[in-house]
Structure 1
Amino acid sequence: MTLDLAHPHPVAPADIAPRTATRPVTDALGRIGNLETRLARSPAESDAAQAVRYRVFAEEMNARLSPDAVRRKRDTDAWDMVCDHLLVLDTAIAGDAEEQIVGTYRLLRQEVAAVSGGFYSQSEFDVDALVARHPGKRFMELGRSCVLPEYRTRRTVELLWQGCWAYALKHGADVMFGCASFPGAIPEEHALALSFLHHNVRAKDEWSVAALPEFHRTMDLMPVEAIDAKRALAAMPPLVKGYLRLGASIGSGAVVDHAFGTTDVLIVLPIGRISGRYINYYGADAGRFSS
C-alpha cells in the first residue's frame, strides 16, 4: 500500500523559483501518541523527507527516477523548492528529527503556485479551468504523500489529515485537491473502482475538472447496474476511501503515470463539503494547532 498522491514527471517547469524568505520554526500541527506532524523546519529536514519518498517510490514501487535521483537516493523535483513539506515524526526514535521522519506530504498554496510555475497536477488535469471558475476561493494542492511501510496504520493516515486540516485552517484554504493513485498502469485492472467513482462521485458543474485530452483514459469501464458498491469501495486505495469519507469528488478521466506505473485520478475537496462529523473530530484538535 502506498499513500502517494502525486508523482514526478520527466519535465518540470523551468521557471519555478525557490522561496527566498526564511521559513519560521513551526510548532506541531497535530499529535497522536508518539507520532507528531509539523512542517519541515530546515533544508536538511526537507532533504530527509525526499529520502523517505525515495525509499517508497523508487525502492518499493520501482519508479523510474532520474540518474541523479538514483545516485543521491532522493526523490526530488523543482516543486520541492516552493512547497511546504508536512512531516510525520516518530518521537520515540532516538536521534534528531531527520532520523524520526516516517512520512511526508507536500503542500502548495495557490498564492505560491501563482508566482512559481503553477500547480503540479496541472501537468495531468485541467486544473487551470477549475481554479478560474472560483476566483474568490483559495486552492491548496496536496501531493507526494508517502509513509514508510511499518507506519501505514490508521492513526498515521489520521495524523496526515490532521496536519493538512490544521494547515488549511491556518492559511484560509477553501479547496483542497491533488492526484490520487491506483497501482498499475492499466486502468482496466481497476474497472470496478474507477467505474464506481465515475458513476457516483464524479465532480460536476462548477467543480468539474477533466484529465488533459492527450492523457485522458476513460473511467467509465462498467455499466452502473453491474457495479457492486461494497466491492468497489473495498478495492479502493486507502487514501482514496479516506477522501470519499470526507466528501471529496473525483475529476473526469484518469491519467496513466508511466514513470511510476500508476493510474492517477484527481481528488477535489471543497472545505465546505467536508462532513461535519469529521470537522468535529479533527477541528477541536487541529483548530488549536492552526493558530
Structure 2
Amino acid sequence: MSTRIDGDLPRRPRFEVRLAETSAEIRATQRLRYEIFAGELGAAIDGGDAGLDHDQYDPFCRHLMVCEAESGRIVACTRILTGERAPGAGGFYSADEFDLAMLDSLPGRVMEIGRTCVAPEYRSGAVIATLWQGIAAYIVNHGYDYLFGCASIDLRDGGASAHAILDQIRNQHLAPPSQRVRPYIPLPAADRRATEKTRMPPLLKAYLSLGAKACGEAYWDRDFNCADVFMLLDVRDLNPRYARHFLGQSAGAVATSTETGAL
C-alpha cells in the first residue's frame, strides 16, 4: 500500500496570471477597473452607467488579469496595446496626455500597458509580482524591446505627496533628454508640502525597481484626480535581480503558456 504525503506534493500558487480570452472575461476586467477608478477614486468615466470602464482602446488591447486560483476571482488587471495595434485605436492611450514624438526614435518594438488596477484587499507584493510575471512573459514571447505606460500618483491630499515623490524621481530616475515627453497639462504646484515621508504607489515602485525611467514631468489627470508619470523601460536595462525573477522565470514558461493560449 502506498502512502501519499501531502507535504511532498507541489502547492498550487495562490494567484495565476493569464490573458482574458472571452468577452465575459474582458467585461470582468472592465468592471474591476470601474470599481477602482470610479468607485474608489471618484473618477469621471464615460459609460459608467453599466458599471464598466471601457473606451476606444479596449477592442485593440490584450487584457491581462490576475486571478485567485481557488475562487477564480479577478483581483488585478492591466491591458496591453502594442505598436502594431495602436494605429487601429487611433494611437496610444498615453498620447492623450503626452507628446510622444520621441517614441519614433526608439530602435525596436514597443508596447504600452495601462488601466492597471488591483482590488483593495489584494494589494500585496504577491499580486503585483504575479501581474509583472505575466507582462514579462508577453514581452519575451512576442519580442518587444520597450515597455511604457503611465504610473499614477493620488492627488487627494492636494498634491503634496505627488510633488515629494516627483522630487525623488527627478533626482534619481529621469530618462535622458532624448527620451523625454511633454505633458499637455502639467501638474500645478501643491497647496501645501508633505509633512511626513511619502510612500510610492505600488505600480510606480515596480517600474522603478525593474529599471524603468521617468520621461519628464507629470500630467495632471483631472478626471482621475491623479498625477500621471510616463515611464519607459528598455528591456536591455532591466535590473538584473528583477530580470532573473520576472523574465528568467517567465521565459522558461512561455512555450507552455502559448501552447495553452494563456499568454
Q: State the TM-score, normalized to the length of structure 2.
A: 0.85
Equivalent of residue 195 in structure 1, options 145, 167, 183: 167
TM-superposed CA distance for 1:211, in Å, is 1.6
Matched AA of 1:280 = R
Contact 2:60–2:88 under 8 Å retained in 1? no
Instruction: Tell me the distance in 2 between the aligned counterparts of 1:204 and 1:82.
Output: 30
Q: Deviations over 1:7-61 (max 9, x none)?
A: xxxxxxxxxxxxxxxxxxxxxxxx9712110100111110111011111111111
Structure 1 gaps of 5+ residues are 1-30, 221-230
TM-superposed CA distance for 1:180, in Å, is 0.7
Q: Secondary structure at the match of 2:220?
A: strand
Matched AA of 1:281 = H
Query: What's the counterpart of residue 119 of structure 2?
Result: 148
Is 2:110 the partner of 1:110? Answer: no
Instruction: Tell me the distance in 1 between the aligned counterparts of 2:231 and 2:134.
Output: 18
TM-superposed CA distance for 1:139, in Å, is 0.8
Instruction: Tell me the distance in 1 between the aligned counterparts of 2:160 and 2:15.
Output: 38
Instruction: Tell me the distance in 1 between the aligned counterparts of 2:240 and 2:161.
Output: 34
Query: What's the counterpart of residue 35 of structure 1?
Result: 15
- Which structure ranks higher in relative contact order (CA pairs < 8 Å, sequence separation ≥ 6)? 1
Is 2:203 the partner of 1:242? Answer: no
Equivalent of residue 175 in structure 1, options 146, 168, 171: 146
Query: What's the counterpart of residue 155 of structure 2?
Result: 184
Matched AA of 2:215 = G
Number of aligned residues: 241
Contact 2:13–2:69 under 8 Å retained in 1? no
Is 2:13 the partner of 1:49? Answer: no
Contact 1:183–1:262 under 8 Å retained in 2? yes
TM-superposed CA distance for 1:119, in Å, is 0.4
Matched AA of 2:209 = R
Mapping of residues 199-210 of structure 1, within 5 Å: 199-210=171-182
Instruction: Tell me the distance in 2 between the aligned counterparts of 1:200 and 1:121.
Output: 23
Contact 1:218–1:253 under 8 Å retained in 2? no
Is 2:74 the partner of 1:101? Answer: yes
TM-superposed CA distance for 1:65, in Å, is 1.7
Q: Secondary structure at the match of 1:114?
A: helix
Is 2:52 the partner of 1:88? Answer: no
Query: What's the counterpart of residue 74 of structure 1?
Result: 52
Structure 1's 149 and 190: CA in aligned 2 closer, same or farther, altered over 3 A?
A: same
Q: Secondary structure at the match of 1:290?
A: helix
Instruction: Tell me the distance in 1 between the aligned counterparts of 2:65 and 2:187.
Output: 33
Q: State the TM-score, normalized to the length of structure 1.
A: 0.77
Q: CA RMSD in A?
A: 2.3
Instruction: Tell me the distance in 1 between the aligned counterparts of 2:188 and 2:53.
Output: 29
Matched AA of 1:133 = S
Query: What's the counterpart of residue 187 of structure 2?
Result: 217
Contact 1:203–1:209 under 8 Å retained in 2? no
Instruction: Tell me the distance in 1 between the aligned counterparts of 2:239 and 2:22.
Output: 35
Structure 2 gaps of 5+ residues are 1-10, 191-195, 256-263
Instruction: Tell me the distance in 2 between the aligned counterparts of 1:125 and 1:42.
Output: 32
Matched AA of 1:80 = D
Q: Secondary structure at the match of 2:224?
A: coil
**Percent of residue pairs identical:** 35
Instruction: Tell me the distance in 2 between the aligned counterparts of 1:111 and 1:219.
Output: 37
Equivalent of residue 104 in structure 2, options 132, 141, 146: 132
Instruction: Tell me the distance in 2 between the aligned counterparts of 1:274 and 1:218.
Output: 32
Larger Rg: 2
Instruction: Tell me the distance in 1 between the aligned counterparts of 2:163 and 2:12.
Output: 36
TM-superposed CA distance for 1:216, in Å, is 2.2
Equivalent of residue 94 in structure 2, options 98, 121, 124: 121
Instruction: Tell me the distance in 1 between the aligned counterparts of 2:148 and 2:14.
Output: 29
